[in-house]
Amino acid sequence: MEQPSVKQVWEWLDAVPDPEIPVISLVDLGIIRDVAWQDDTLTVTVTPTYSGCPATSVINMDIETALRDHGIEKLQLKQQLSPAWTTDWLTERGKARLEDYGIAPPQPAGGPERCPNCGSKNVQKVSQFGSTPCKAHWRCTDCLEPFDYFKCI
């Protein structure tokens, strides 16, 4: 089999959904830091979102499964801690998909810009911690719906 290009591998990875938030891909999430061939071995460098995020091991397994399905035989997954993952690495497409899904995307101001359900700007924080390590719990004071906010780190 001919060695697939790095660009091709990135496209394959872009089709692997985040296990917790399946509307965005691992590439959208910004945790794939590098894809490179070293002779006949493909190295994929991944950085964790939060140190203890339980999705990390599932993500590694999903990457491995996807690439093996595309015929990659020699694969090495490398963990990289620095530079530490930041929500700035979420793609614009990823942010838009988060909002469609009902999760307010991260904002530099530190809180959601608007309610992902009704668009109201009248929102308040319930807790800094939410259903996963990467999210905080907010509510809309107009439509009264609770929602997740993808917090900045």
Contacts with other proteins, residue ranges (CB under 8 A): 48, 50-54, 81-85, 126-133, 137, 151, 153
Nearest approach in angstroms of CB 71 to other proteins is 29
Nearer to other proteins, 37 or 89 (CB): 89
Alpha-carbon gap, residue 61 to 135, rounded angstroms: 23
Nearer to other proteins, 114 or 137 (CB): 137
Nearer to other proteins, 75 or 153 (CB): 153
Nearest approach in angstroms of CB 77 to other proteins is 15
Amino acid letter, 19: P
- For residues 44-72, one letter each, b for 16 or more C-beta atoms within 10 angstroms of the residue's C-beta and e for the rest, the string is bebbbbeeebebbeebeebbeebbeeeeb
Nearest approach in angstroms of CB 15 to other proteins is 27
For 124, the token pair is 């308040």
Nearest approach in angstroms of CB 112 to other proteins is 16
